């Protein structure tokens, strides 16, 4: 009996851990290499769409995510000043029945921890910064900044918009700064002093917006994230602190619910929103990219992590039962299966009109990565 494939996954974020969990489901041995010394719990929320929840269900994580996340009635879209409802996308039991899985609002750290729980701790190697890849007759040789090396039958680059794997494989352009920045934070809802907010609302301004929602099932913690113009700001780090006074000034005059949330906000982080064109091809031989490494998403559809999680499930199906000689073709099938969908989501998100008015959402939330037909 041939030995199982051994796949190295670069990046221990959502996409990397989801890939590890998915590949292990089909009997593939994995090692995850993450450059950080430890996983950090970022103060950020994340919307876990019905499409992503179907994949998480396959990992046995649905009950855990339900117990830790908020189950919203809807995603409300309202005018920045009057509060007029532009479009109310109904979720809750209605969407769950229609799309086959719940729509949840979670703390980003809770989703990451859930995915980490689906992968044995011993297969994750922290403090491993990739610096080189060389294809050999036996597979791929990986080189790391600390001088160590590793060998794998194949490599998956799930290392995000600044992917080292992509930069090694392809001569790619640097990221595009969009001229927009985002503030984000989570904080205890008790700081609102009893003020109630909508389950999940995007407040649409003329050249900016703010999204506010609960991230805990008992409504004990809220999250906010913005998008607004500031072309001069070019720091793209989720750990950079912002000035909450600047945030309040930027949204002065917005609906009283927004102003109350910002008045209670104790501190914020700030980062530059970047974009990058999708690559014309994702793979080279026995190395492929996945998630933001090959199709980076702006945050305006809340589908960035979902696309990487979907990628993981589809990739596992393409590699299921494949021997060493079939890896390159499996990677070709993966790209052919996923490219049309990820390109459409990328373009839709970039336009930043998602749910601003009555919107067909079936093509996004109705997708099932476990059953969608694979390319020939």
CB 291 within 8 A of CB 313: no
Residues 117-148: b if buried by 16+ CB within 10 A, e if exposed: ebbeeeebbeebebeebeeeeebbbbebeeee
Burial (Cβ within 10 Å: 0-12, 13-18, ≥19) of residue 28: buried
**Integer Cα distance of 34 and 6 in angstroms:** 17
Number of H helices, E strands in the chain: 11, 19
Q: What is residue 31's three-state secondary structure?
A: strand
Show Cβ contacts of residue 325 under 8 Å, excluding neighbours closer than 6 positions: none
Beta strands in 62-174 (DSSP E): 74-79, 85-90, 104-107, 124-125, 130-136, 139-144, 149-152, 154-157
Q: What is residue 82's three-state secondary structure?
A: coil
Strand pairing of 221-229 and 209-214? Answer: antiparallel
State yes or no: is 213 an active-site residue: yes
Choosing from 33, 183, 187, 213, the catalytic residue is 213
**Integer Cα distance of 228 and 46 in angstroms:** 19
Q: How many residues does the chain have?
A: 376
At residue 357, what are phi and psi to the nearest 5 degrees?
Answer: -145, 180
CB 291 within 8 A of CB 15: yes
| Active site residue ranges | 213
């Amino acid at each position: 009996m041939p030995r199982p494939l051994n796949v190295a996954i670069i990046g221990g974020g959502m996409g990397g851990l989801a890939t590890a969990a998915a590949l292990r489901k089909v009997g593939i041995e994995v090692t995850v290499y993450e450059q950080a010394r430890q996983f950090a719990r970022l103060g950020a929320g994340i919307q876990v769409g019905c499409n992503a929840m179907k994949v998480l269900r396959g990992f046995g994580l649905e009950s855990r995510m339900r117990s830790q996340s908020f189950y919203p009635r809807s995603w409300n879209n309202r005018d920045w000043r009057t509060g007029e409802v532009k479009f109310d996308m109904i979720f809750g039991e209605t969407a769950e029945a229609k799309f086959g899985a719940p729509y949840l609002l979670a703390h980003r750290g809770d989703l990451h921890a859930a995915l980490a729980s689906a992968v044995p701790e011993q297969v994750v190697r922290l403090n491993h910064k990739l610096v080189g890849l060389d294809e050999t007759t036996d597979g791929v040789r990986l080189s790391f900044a600390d001088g160590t090396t590793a060998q794998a039958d194949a490599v998956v680059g799930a290392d995000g918009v600044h992917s080292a794997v992509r930069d090694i494989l392809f001569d790619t352009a640097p990221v595009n700064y969009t001229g927009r920045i985002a503030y984000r934070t989570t904080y205890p809802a008790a700081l609102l002093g009893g003020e109630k907010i909508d389950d999940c609302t995007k407040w649409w301004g003329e050249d900016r917006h703010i999204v506010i929602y609960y991230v805990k099932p008992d409504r004990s913690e809220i999250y906010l994230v913005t998008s607004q113009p500031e072309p001069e700001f070019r720091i793209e780090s989720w750990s950079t602190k912002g000035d909450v006074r600047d945030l309040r000034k930027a949204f002065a005059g917005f609906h009283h619910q927004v102003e109350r949330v910002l008045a209670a906000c104790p501190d914020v982080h700030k980062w530059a929103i970047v974009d990058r064109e999708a690559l014309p091809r994702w793979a080279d031989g026995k190395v492929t990219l996945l998630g933001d490494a090959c199709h980076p998403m702006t945050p305006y559809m809340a589908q960035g992590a979902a696309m990487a999680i979907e990628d993981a499930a589809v990739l596992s199906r393409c590699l299921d039962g494949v021997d060493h000689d079939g890896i390159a073709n499996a990677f070709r099938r993966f790209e052919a299966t996923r490219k049309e969908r990820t390109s459409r989501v990328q373009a839709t998100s970039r336009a930043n009109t998602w749910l601003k008015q009555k919107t067909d959402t079936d093509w996004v939330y109705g997708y099932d990565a476990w059953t969608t037909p694979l390319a020939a």
